[in-house]
């Protein structure tokens, strides 16, 4: 009988895998019994301010009346129908909204069920487009070191080859081309020029076998929370144009205002040929992602031997997810994110400044509603999370990084509490 919170946690420990955990000695987990606004309620009755937005997705906070209403209204109509041969208003209206918000030229939409799947689809689109142009030998991607694009096999192949999972699955992964990681956002112009020269030379060297370029624009997330100069995006656009490469921006982490512009690509005024969005798309309610591309790529794919885009997941275009995504985008675009994100950035800069002088702290940086304290050693993640929880904050550090991506609705008091918890975690871990 699973009667008490302790019973539930004991079963969880024996039977459930959590992300990147051991089945034999799992790290402790906390039981959530409720979530509202920016707060999580736990099984022991304690309450934590969520500094993670549930992996960067819950931008409007939890239990939002508008999102709840969109979900329940759609559930009363119908929850799901297959997207093969059928269509529905939630998917159509969501696509219309995405196209209206997307960088110039991105007007064809594929709805996928998760970020990783959307990256798989973007890679497929890239290869099929090249085949459609009679360039079947172009099968590799050019990317930069330090990236993260998801956990499925196609995605792993373009993740950072050292920090990612290449060594474990080497024989299963295609060999893509890795350019140096772009310099840090604050780097001098000379460093950007040096990087641009290396990136361009590598692309030219491998052009005959390259199909496209894939990067996280402006901010590499799970690969190390590394922000880089917007000027690098223009370099990538120029290289793609020169060598007939498809430029893919993975905006799964950066999209929907997180870095201060609606799309990270907007910081450089660059339009990619393909863009992936996910994570915050549904405001953290359901798994949904989208791949947007141009009419030209759409035609290119259709010119390939199959004549069609070869993908079609069972739950493609799930109406519940589409309805809540549309409501989330309407909340976002009718709201004040464009003022809130810079306000959060300013609050994070002030609140985390004290961490700079702590022993063991290598760097403190902010970009939009992202605050990062990088240590000079791997974080003791359990110790760090416990120290934050003592101050009433939920943090989930990784590698050498203690960071926050708070919901946009976080107020000044809660943001100060988050900054105090990040700083405390950096002290003890
Ligand atoms: C999270 C993430 C993904 C993978 O998305 P999932 O929904 O977890 O499959 C891909 N790319 C980036 C940049 C991400 O941050």
| pLDDT band, very low/low/confident/very high, at 164 (cuts 50, 70, 90) | confident
- Are the C-beta atoms of residues 59 and 53 closer than 8 Å to each other? yes
Instruction: Name the 3-class secondary structure at 363.
Output: strand
| pLDDT band, very low/low/confident/very high, at 56 (cuts 50, 70, 90) | very high
- Ligand 1 mean position, distance from CA 311 (Å): 19
With a cut of 80, say whether residue 165 has pLDDT above it: no
Eight-class DSSP state of 230: T
Query: At a CB cut-off of 8 Å and minimum separation 6, what does 361 contact?
Result: 355, 373, 374, 375, 376, 426
pLDDT on residue 171: 83
Q: Which residues are annotated as a binding site for substrate?
A: 55, 148, 279, 312, 396
Work out the widest C-alpha separation in the chain, in whole angstroms. Answer: 65
User: CATH 3.40.640.10: which residues of the chain?
Assistant: 68-334
| Cα(123)–Cα(131) distance, integer angstroms | 12
- Are the C-beta atoms of residues 426 and 373 closer than 8 Å to each other? yes
- Ligand 1 mean position, distance from CA 251 (Å): 9
Nearest CA to ligand 1 atom 3: 150
| Cα(283)–Cα(331) distance, integer angstroms | 9
Pinpoint the alpha helices (H) of 57-152. 65-77, 89-101, 115-132
- Ligand 1 mean position, distance from CA 45 (Å): 32
What sign does the dihedral 76-89-80-36 (CA atoms) show?
negative
With a cut of 80, say whether residue 28 has pLDDT above it: yes
What is the distance, to the nearest Å, from the Cα of residue 127 to the centroid of all Cα atoms in its chain? 23
pLDDT on residue 74: 98
∠ CA 409-290-319, nearest 5°, is: 80
| Full-model pTM | 0.98
Which residues have CB under 6 Å of ligand 1?
114-116, 119, 148-150, 216, 221-222, 250, 252-253, 278-279
Q: Name 143's bridge partners.
A: 178
What is the distance, to the nearest Å, from the Cα of residue 55 to the centroid of all Cα atoms in its chain? 8
Residue 148 known to be catalytic: yes
Helix (H) or strand (E) holding 404: strand 401-404
Pocket test of ligand 1: the residue of 115, 122, 144 to mutate, having most ligand atoms within 8 Å of its CB, is 115
The chain-wide mean pLDDT, for the chain, equals 97
Residue 250 known to be catalytic: yes
Query: In the predicted model, what is the mean pLDDT of residues 194-223?
Result: 98
What is the CATH architecture assignment of 31-63+336-428? Alpha-Beta Complex (3.90)
| pLDDT band, very low/low/confident/very high, at 169 (cuts 50, 70, 90) | confident
Atom of ligand 1 nearest to the CA of 279: 7
| Cα(326)–Cα(408) distance, integer angstroms | 17
| Cα(195)–Cα(185) distance, integer angstroms | 13
pLDDT on residue 167: 79
Residues 121-150: pLDDT tens digits?
999 999 999 999 999 999 999 999 999 999
pLDDT on residue 166: 77
Say whether domain 68-334 belongs to CATH 3.40.50.300. no
Q: What are phi and psi of 28, to 5 degrees?
A: -60, 150
Residues 272-329: pLDDT tens digits?
999 999 999 999 999 999 999 999 999 999 998 899 999 999 999 999 999 999 999 9
């Amino acid at each position: 009988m699973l009667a008490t919170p302790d019973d539930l946690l004991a079963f969880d420990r024996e039977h459930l895998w959590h992300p990147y955990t051991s089945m034999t000695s799992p790290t402790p987990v906390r039981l959530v019994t409720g979530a509202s606004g920016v707060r999580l309620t736990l099984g022991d009755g304690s309450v934590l301010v969520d500094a993670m937005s549930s992996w960067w997705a819950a931008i409007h906070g939890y239990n939002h009346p508008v999102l709840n209403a969109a979900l329940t209204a759609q559930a009363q109509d119908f929850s799901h129908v297959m997207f093969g041969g059928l269509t529905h208003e939630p998917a159509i209206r969501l696509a219309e909204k995405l196209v209206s918000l997307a960088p110039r030229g991105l007007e064809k939409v594929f709805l996928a069920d998760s970020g990783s799947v959307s990256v798989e689809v973007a890679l497929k689109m890239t290869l099929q487009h090249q085949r459609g142009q009679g360039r079947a030998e172009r099968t590799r991607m050019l990317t930069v070191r330090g990236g993260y694009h998801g956990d499925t096999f196609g995605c792993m192949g373009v993740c950072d080859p050292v920090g990612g999972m290449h060594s474990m699955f080497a024989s299963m992964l295609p060999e893509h081309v890795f350019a140096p990681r772009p310099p840090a956002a604050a780097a001098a112009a000379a460093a950007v020029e040096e990087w641009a020269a290396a990136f361009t030379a590598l692309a030219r060297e491998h052009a005959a076998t390259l199909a496209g370029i894939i990067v996280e624009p402006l901010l590499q997330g799970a690969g190390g929370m590394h922000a880089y100069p917007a000027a690098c995006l223009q370099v990538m656009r120029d290289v793609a144009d020169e060598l007939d490469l498809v430029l893919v921006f993975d905006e799964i982490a950066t999209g929907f205002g997180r870095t201060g512009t609606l799309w990270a690509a907007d910081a450089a005024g660059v339009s990619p040929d393909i863009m992936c969005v996910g994570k915050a798309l549904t405001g953290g309610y359901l798994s949904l992602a989208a791949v947007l591309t141009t009419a030209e790529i759409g035609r290119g794919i259709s010119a390939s031997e199959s004549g069609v885009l070869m993908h079609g997941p069972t739950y493609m275009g799930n109406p519940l997810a589409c309805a809540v995504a549309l409501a989330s985008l309407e909340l976002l675009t009718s709201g004040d994110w464009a003022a809130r994100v810079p306000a959060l950035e300013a609050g994070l800069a002030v609140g985390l400044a004290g961490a700079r002088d702590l022993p063991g702290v290598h760097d403190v940086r902010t970009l939009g509603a992202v605050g990062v304290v990088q240590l000079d050693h791997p974080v003791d993640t359990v110790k760090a999370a416990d120290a934050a929880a003592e101050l009433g904050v939920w943090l989930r550090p990784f590698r050498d990084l203690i960071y926050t991506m708070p919901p946009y609705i976080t107020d000044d008091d809660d943001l100060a509490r988050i900054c105090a918890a990040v700083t405390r975690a950096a002290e003890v871990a």
